[in-house]
Amino acid sequence: MIKKTLALAALFLTIVCCDKLDDLTKFNIDYNTEYTIPASSILGTPFEFVTPEVTTNSQQEFENNDTNADLVESVKLRDLTLTIQSPTTGDFDFLNEIFIYINADGLEEILIASKSGIQEDGSQTLDLDVENVELREYILKDSYTLRTQSVTDQTIEEDHVINIYTNFRVDAKILGL
């Protein structure tokens, strides 16, 4: 009976410890980039903008988390938030829908986040719905770009500077564990 109890206790500890170790192999990487939506009187027509290249510094991020590119198993987008930087009175009421795509040298462009039927509530921040797609290869590159495709349902009389905040969840083996 004691052997069974000890065996069950050992099994329980092994499972708990493995889960704790697995949590140690996960970390987040955040990036910010900006783009400008020029003043416009065009309604209902899709328009596109490409952000400046975002330098990933992924090797440094991996080193900071005791891993390297070879040990990265998965990268997924957790959050993508748009914030109006200017004008200070600006809001997202002019947007009807938005789609954001990621692209990197030698890789296909893929949709990573979107939002449709955007409410006219005066909000200066907008959390997009993220796609459950594997982004490992994009983050391992030196840089990537984001392309936005938007449809407006109101005119805007001033240029709007938009910050795009992205939060990626990295799952890697730390020190080969």
142 occurs within a structural domain: yes
- Cα–Cα nearest to 58, from 31, 35, 80: 31
Region 128-135 average pLDDT: 98
Q: Is the pLDDT of residue 94 over 70?
A: yes
Query: Which parts of the chain fold into alpha helices (H)?
Result: 2-24, 58-64, 136-140
pLDDT digit string, tens, across residues 36-49: 888 875 667 777 88
> From start to end of the chain, where are the E strands?
26-37, 47-50, 54-55, 72-86, 95-103, 110-116, 125-127, 129-130, 143-152, 160-172
Number of domains in the chain: 1
Specify the pLDDT at position 42.
67
9 occurs within a structural domain: no
8 occurs within a structural domain: no
Residue 150 to residue 166: CA distance in whole angstroms: 18
4 occurs within a structural domain: no
7 occurs within a structural domain: no
Identify residue 11 by its one-letter amino acid code.
Answer: L
| Residues listed for the chain | 177
Q: Is the pLDDT of residue 119 over 80?
A: yes
The CATH number covering residue 64 comes to 2.60.120
Give the domain extent around 146.
28-172
105 occurs within a structural domain: yes
11 occurs within a structural domain: no
Confidence of residue 156 (pLDDT cuts 50, 70, 90): confident
Specify the pLDDT at position 155.
85
Please indicate, yes or no, whether the overall pTM of this predicted structure exceeds 0.85.
no
Q: Is the pLDDT of residue 104 over 90?
A: yes
Q: 2-11, 134-143, 161-170: which range is least confident on average?
A: 2-11
| φ/ψ (deg, to 5) at 63 | -60, -40
pLDDT digit string, tens, across residues 1-15: 676 666 555 555 555
